């Protein structure tokens, strides 16, 4: 017996939240991800409260990322929002709701076994199987994620793993998310998390998957091809520094051609901004939630895996529709 049959959910309005969850229900490779995590999950049959199913906790974990919810807020939302309970498979009136401690333990399980990277790899394997990721080119970039600078905490100090970074004339305190994305689709294939004072160019070559022939970066990546970790098989296409580009005389054929080349490189590099927009605008992730790089990097990797599915959802749904038609 479900809540709807008891009259506890008397609305039929298709809200944006429900539409979003319905779409993600279809595009997330649930079976593959559950199979990935289950070997590390605690088994049932022990004394006391039995562990919740991995599929339920995974869905709850993803909803935390999509809707920017802490562990206590997620527990409350499960009690308050029928759409969340339905998505988690907890829509029966007599089913127990996971506590914030259960939600926390599941997140720690993912962190302990470094499963966020494997979740991203599983998602990307699905996208590659659908022909949505190519291997020829990679675009790299980094974004600053703010961290609380207050010292009003138990240790009376700021997070020692976060550092200041200057962008333009503005100083920021926090960490950096460095990503490598497919130059054709804009889907993320590699993620690295560092403190805010690490230069973009330092992480550039670690963001390549090793099969590309061309890589693209903005002016902050000048000299990347001369670093010790540079790969000889990759051609780097790095933007001119803004001052040098402004100095180009477009009335001269050669300099006009250089400017056109810069425009072409910029149009390719623009793909890297799409995952950042989804992360910060769609999912609302603009500030770190935890202390330490390890926990926050794990969350960021998961968010980019989910952003890949969100950006590719229309093509994935189209592929699924074609499969249904062929199988009918």
- The pLDDT tens digits of the residues spanning 124-136 come to 999 999 888 777 8
Q: How large is the average pLDDT for residues 179-188?
A: 95
What average pLDDT does the segment 308-314 reach? Answer: 95
**What's this model's pTM, rounded to 2 decimal places?**
0.89
The CA distance from 156 to 14, in Å, is 47
Evaluate if residue 36 carries a pLDDT over 80. yes
Q: Are 190 and 157 in contact (CB under 8 A)?
A: no
d(Cα 141, Cα 187) in Å, to the nearest integer?
13
- Give the lowest-confidence range in 13-22, 107-116, 288-297: 13-22
Pick the more confident residue, 45 or 200.
200
Residues in the chain: 328
Q: What pLDDT, on a 0 to 100 scale, did the predictor assign at position 49?
A: 60
Q: Which pLDDT score is estimated for 325?
A: 40
* 189 pLDDT above the threshold of 80: yes
pLDDT, tens digit (0-9, with 9 covering 90-100), for 61-93:
999 999 999 999 999 999 999 999 999 999 776
pLDDT of residue 24: 96
Question: What's the chain's average pLDDT?
Answer: 90
Would you state the pLDDT for residue 11? 57
The tokens for 24 are 């993600």
Cα separation, 306 vs 292, in Å, equals 22
pLDDT tens for residues 132-151?
877 789 999 999 999 988 77
Q: According to the model, what pLDDT value does residue 167 have?
A: 81
Confidence of residue 326 (pLDDT cuts 50, 70, 90): very low
Report the distance separating Cα 305 and Cα 125, nearest Å.
11
Q: What percent of the chain has pLDDT over 90?
A: 77
CA dihedral sign of residues 289, 294, 295, 297:
positive
CA distance 60 to 289: 17
> pLDDT tens, 216-273?
999 999 999 999 999 999 999 999 999 999 999 999 999 999 999 999 999 999 999 9
- 322 band by pLDDT with thresholds 50, 70 and 90: low
Predicted pLDDT of residue 34 = 96
Residue 9 has pLDDT above 70, yes or no: no
């Amino acid at each position: 017996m479900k809540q709807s049959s008891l009259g506890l959910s008397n609305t039929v309005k298709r809200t944006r939240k429900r539409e979003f969850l319905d779409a993600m229900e279809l595009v997330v490779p649930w079976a593959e991800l559950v199979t990935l995590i289950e070997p590390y999950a605690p088994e049932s049959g022990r004394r006391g409260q039995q562990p919740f199913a991995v599929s339920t906790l995974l869905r709850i974990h993803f909803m935390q990322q999509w809707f920017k919810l802490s562990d206590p807020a997620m527990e409350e939302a499960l009690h308050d929002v029928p759409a969340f309970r339905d998505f988690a498979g907890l829509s029966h009136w007599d089913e127990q709701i996971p506590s914030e401690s259960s939600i926390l333990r599941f997140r720690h399980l993912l962190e302990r076994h470094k499963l966020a990277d494997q979740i991203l790899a599983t998602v990307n394997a699905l996208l590659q199987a659908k022909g949505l990721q190519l291997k020829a080119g990679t675009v790299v970039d980094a974004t600053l994620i703010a961290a609380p600078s207050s010292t009003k905490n138990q240790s009376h100090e700021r997070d020692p793993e976060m550092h200041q970074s200057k962008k333009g004339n503005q100083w920021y305190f926090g960490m950096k998310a460095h990503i490598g994305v497919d130059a054709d689709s804009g889907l993320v294939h590699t993620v690295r998390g560092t403190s805010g004072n690490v230069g973009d160019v330092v992480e550039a070559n670690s963001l390549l998957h090793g099969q590309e022939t061309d890589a693209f970066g903005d002016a902050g990546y000048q000299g990347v091809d001369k670093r010790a970790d540079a790969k000889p098989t990759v051609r780097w296409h790095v933007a001119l520094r803004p001052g040098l580009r402004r100095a180009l005389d477009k009335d001269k054929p050669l300099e006009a051609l250089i400017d056109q080349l810069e425009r072409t490189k910029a149009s390719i590099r623009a793909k890297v901004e799409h995952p950042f927009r989804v992360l910060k605008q769609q999912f609302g992730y603009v500030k770190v939630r935890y202390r330490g790089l390890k926990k926050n990097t794990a969350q960021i990797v998961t968010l980019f895996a989910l952003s890949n599915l969100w950006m590719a959802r229309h093509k994935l749904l189209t592929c699924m529709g074609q499969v249904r038609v062929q199988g009918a």
